[in-house]
């Protein structure tokens, strides 16, 4: 039995549980996104901004994935939104079974949007279906415009791209146009947003898109 | 046979090859660092700055690890330094066997410092010994001061910490003092440097430390 065989079995088992999660979420007419990025791209700030902008229009629940600490869940909890913290204790990505357990802690019939914030890792979470409707990859301008070329799997598997921290562009040698072009060369179907969670720029457009996706369901 | 057993065997095999790499490097009196960080923290810029600052004093070789592309190796090659590019084709970290193969491509007796730039991933590379003298973790100010608490393994396993992009501090809500304090709470023995690869601040101190480590060997 080779390591590759084991890995395939782990992914197959994950896919079965992800399908069950998807069925459960669909039965509650609940739209879900899996937010993925490097550490420090601004996923939690984006979750905070999204809640602030949409809370009166959309009923939101959040699952926070972290290797250690419940710092992110506390930030979300402070905004009065239902949140479950998953601590992976070293594991580099969320798996469907962890999401399945977390869904039991949420009042699903009451929710319209579930935001899953994955562990900060631009590589490993790309291969793990959690049962979400779409993966949304966040990349910050400070990471450099070559990142889509260097970490293509995440951009290939996502439906939307958020280029965050555009407020810092005047101080960087990095081009947001090149970053977008590089991402679209990997996945031309990506819906791209440019945001700043500091200034709030672009958040409205992102929230309108979320609302349109929820209405479409 | 469980997945955990397989993982342990993979790590055991890696450790054996890492020990052989270490022996080979020591036999050439060659000091080596394993640069680890999130994507976009500035590892390659740091390599470029280090080469520019030390090239006349230290004979440097570089191994670049990337999931895709040889963009980084081209940047290093442009500076006239011997460089080997490893493309992992999806794998989220470097392993000792890849370094062993790369060492065959370098003129080891001629070198004093080997810089290994790992895949951008603040999680997975922490568990893989490559045979290096020390791991050096790079974190950029833009990633937020809580990162050492959220990704502790990398900070625990490193000997030095480079807090990069300090030129951006005036535009951030993040505290470099808190970042350092959080890192030292995980690993009090960390040697900390604050750098900007844009302005060059802190690079001299970092290079002096490298030189002192090479002399100590």
A121-142 residue pLDDT tens: 999 999 999 999 999 999 999 9
What are A157-178's pLDDT values in tens digits?
999 999 999 999 999 999 999 9
Partner B contacted by A211 (CB < 8 A): no
| A150 Cα to chain B: minimum distance (Å) | 5
**What does the H/E/C string look like for A16-32?**
HHHHHHHHHHHHCCCEE
Series of mean pLDDT values for 10-residue runs along chain B (217 residues): 62 95 98 98 98 93 95 95 94 96 97 97 96 98 97 97 98 96 98 98 97 90
Contact between A67 and B150 using a beta-carbon 8 Å cutoff: yes
For an interface test with B, which of A40, A97, A174, A197 has the most B Cβ atoms less than 10 Å from its Cβ?
A40
The b-or-e profile of A155-194 (16+ CB within 10 A means b, else e) is bbbbbbbbbbbbbbeeebebebeebbebbeebbeebeebb
What pLDDT, on a 0 to 100 scale, did the predictor assign at position A4?
A: 55
Partner B contacted by A145 (CB < 8 A): no
The pTM of this model reads 0.93
Tokens of B20: 């052989």
Q: Who among A1, A39, A152 is closest to B143 (CB)?
A: A39
Report yes or no: A37 and A44 within 8 Å, Cβ to Cβ: no
CA gap B108, B82 in Å, rounded: 10
Query: Does A7 score more than 70 pLDDT?
Result: no
Residue of higher predicted confidence among A217 and A5: A217
For an interface test with A, which of B123, B137, B182, B187 has the most A Cβ atoms less than 10 Å from its Cβ?
B123
What are A40-95's pLDDT values in tens digits?
999 999 999 999 999 889 999 999 999 999 999 999 999 999 999 999 999 999 99
Partner A contacted by B165 (CB < 8 A): yes
Which residues sit opposite A31 in a β-bridge? A113
Query: Tokens 């393994």 sit at which residue?
Result: B153
Q: Interface pTM (ipTM) of the complex?
A: 0.90
| B212 Cα to chain A: minimum distance (Å) | 31
Of B173, B211, B164, B192, the residue nearest B53 (C-alpha): B211
Of B125, B112, B25, the residue nearest B65 (C-alpha): B125
Residues of chain B found within 8 Å of residue A119, distances taken between Cβ atoms: 123
CA gap B129, B98 in Å, rounded: 12
What pLDDT, on a 0 to 100 scale, did the predictor assign at position A1?
A: 41
What pLDDT, on a 0 to 100 scale, did the predictor assign at position B11?
A: 85
Q: Average per-residue pLDDT in chain A?
A: 95
Residue of higher predicted confidence among B54 and A3: B54
3-state secondary structure of B96: helix
Partner B contacted by A92 (CB < 8 A): yes
Of A25, A43, A213, A18, the residue nearest A118 (C-alpha): A43
What pLDDT, on a 0 to 100 scale, did the predictor assign at position A2?
A: 52
CA gap B58, B208 in Å, rounded: 11
Partner B contacted by A5 (CB < 8 A): no
Cα R_g (chain A), whole angstroms: 17
For chains A and B, CB pairs below 8 A equal: 115
CA gap B191, B161 in Å, rounded: 6
Query: Does A98 score more than 50 pLDDT?
Result: yes
Partner A contacted by B66 (CB < 8 A): yes
């Amino acid at each position: 039995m080779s390591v590759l065989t084991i890995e395939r079995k782990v992914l197959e088992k994950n896919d079965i549980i992800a399908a069950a999660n998807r069925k459960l979420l669909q039965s509650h007419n609940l739209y879900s996104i899996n937010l993925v990025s490097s550490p420090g791209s601004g996923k939690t700030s984006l979750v905070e901004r999204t809640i602030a902008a949409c809370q009166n229009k959309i009923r939101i629940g959040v699952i926070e994935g972290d290797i250690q600490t419940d710092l992110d869940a506390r930030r979300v909890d402070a905004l009065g939104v239902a949140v479950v913290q998953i601590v992976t204790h070293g594991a580099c990505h969320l798996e469907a079974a962890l999401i399945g357990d977390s869904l039991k802690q949420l009042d699903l019939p009451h929710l319209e949007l579930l935001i899953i914030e994955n562990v900060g890792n631009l590589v490993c979470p790309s291969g793990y279906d959690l049962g979400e409707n779409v993966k949304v990859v966040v990349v910050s301008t400070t990471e450099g415009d070559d990142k889509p070329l260097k970490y293509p799997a995440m951009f290939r598997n996502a439906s939307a791209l958020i280029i965050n921290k555009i407020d810092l562009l005047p101080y960087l040698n990095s081009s947001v146009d090149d970053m977008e072009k590089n991402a679209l060369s990997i996945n031309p179907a990506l819906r791209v947003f440019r945001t700043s969670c500091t200034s709030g720029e672009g958040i409205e457009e992102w929230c309108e898109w979320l609302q349109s996706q929820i209405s479409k369901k």
